[in-house]
């Protein structure tokens, strides 16, 4: 007699998967598109009020890419584009708090701004731009494999987004991502946590100088 083993997700996995799915489905109706203000800047282009978008849910297109130059050409390239996703951006500050005897509260010392924290709510489906495709009811396994390749790279990724460009964010690092299979057979929602990244140079001091 064969024994059939069925693995079911635990309560935490179900809750996180449901949260990602709900955030994407209902967030699409609440998210606002990138909108220029009526004020024209020095370059003759409409200005954007960055504070207005901080913490807001923004509907956007976004592309993640990486070029592996560690080996001789031709270089291997990784690229994935989300045609429709929700982006939420926040900027924490690094502040040191010190408690002092006999004083209520703490003394705060501002150090610097932290990295931008980027939450990306997205979904992958099998429509591929054609709702009449024979594959429209299939699970988007190939697309998910391509996305996993780039999300699991131990490197910073180039990011292309008109919204993130407002904040001079062109490079990001994947902090974590989570996904749980849904009841939809042809769609997979995913939540990705990103941190902004800036290139830096390490200058070595010449001891002979």
Burial 149-174 (b: 16+ CB within 10 A, else e): ebbeeeebbbbebebbeebebbbbbb
Give the model confidence (pLDDT) of 73-114 as tens digits.
899 999 999 988 999 999 988 899 999 988 888 989 988 889
Span 168-200, pLDDT tens digits: 999 999 999 998 777 778 888 999 999 999 866
Domain presence at residue 156: yes
For Cα atoms 147, 83, 15, give the angle at the middle one, nearest 5 degrees.
60
Residue at 73 is within a domain: yes
Query: Is residue 202 assigned to a domain?
Result: no
Sign of CA dihedral 159, 160, 163, 167: positive
| Residue 63 resides in a domain | yes
Look up the CATH number of the domain holding residue 186. Answer: 2.30.110
What beta strand segments (E) does 56-166 contain? 57-68, 76-90, 93-99, 106-113, 117-125, 157-160
| 108-142 tens-digit pLDDT | 998 888 999 999 999 888 776 656 667 778 888 89
Q: How many domains are there within the chain?
A: 1
Q: Which residue, chain included where needed, has tokens 């989300």?
A: 82
The answer to whether position 22 is within a domain reads: no
CA nearest to 161, candidates 41, 45, 65, 77 = 65
Has residue 176 been placed in a domain?
yes
The encoded tokens of residue 56 equal: 């807001």
Q: Domain range for residue 124?
A: 50-91+119-196
Distance separating alpha carbons of residues 67 and 90, to the nearest angstrom: 27
- Hey, what's the torsion of the CAs at 11, 16, 20, 21, to 10 degrees? 0
pTM score of the predicted model: 0.73
């Amino acid at each position: 007699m064969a024994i059939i083993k069925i693995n079911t997700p635990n309560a935490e996995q179900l809750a996180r998967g449901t949260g990602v799915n709900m955030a994407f489905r209902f967030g699409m109706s609440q998210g606002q598109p990138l909108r220029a203000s009526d004020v024209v800047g020095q370059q003759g282009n409409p200005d954007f009020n960055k504070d207005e978008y901080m913490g807001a849910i923004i509907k956007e297109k976004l592309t993640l890419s990486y070029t592996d130059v560690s080996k001789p050409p031709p270089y291997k390239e990784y690229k994935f584009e989300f045609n429709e996703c929700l982006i939420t951006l926040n900027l924490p500050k690094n502040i040191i708090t010190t408690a002092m005897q006999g004083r209520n509260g703490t003394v705060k010392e501002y150090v610097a701004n932290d990295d931008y924290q980027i939450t990306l709510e997205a979904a992958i489906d099998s429509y591929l731009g054609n709702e009449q495709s024979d594959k429209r009811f299939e699970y988007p396994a190939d697309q998910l494999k391509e996305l996993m390749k780039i999300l699991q790279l131990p490197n910073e990724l180039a990011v292309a987004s008109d919204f993130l460009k407002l904040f001079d964010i062109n490079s990001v690092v994947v902090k974590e991502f989570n996904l749980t299979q849904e009841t939809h057979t042809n769609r997979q929602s995913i939540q990705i946590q990103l941190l902004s990244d800036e290139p830096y140079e390490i200058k070595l001091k010449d001891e002979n100088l």
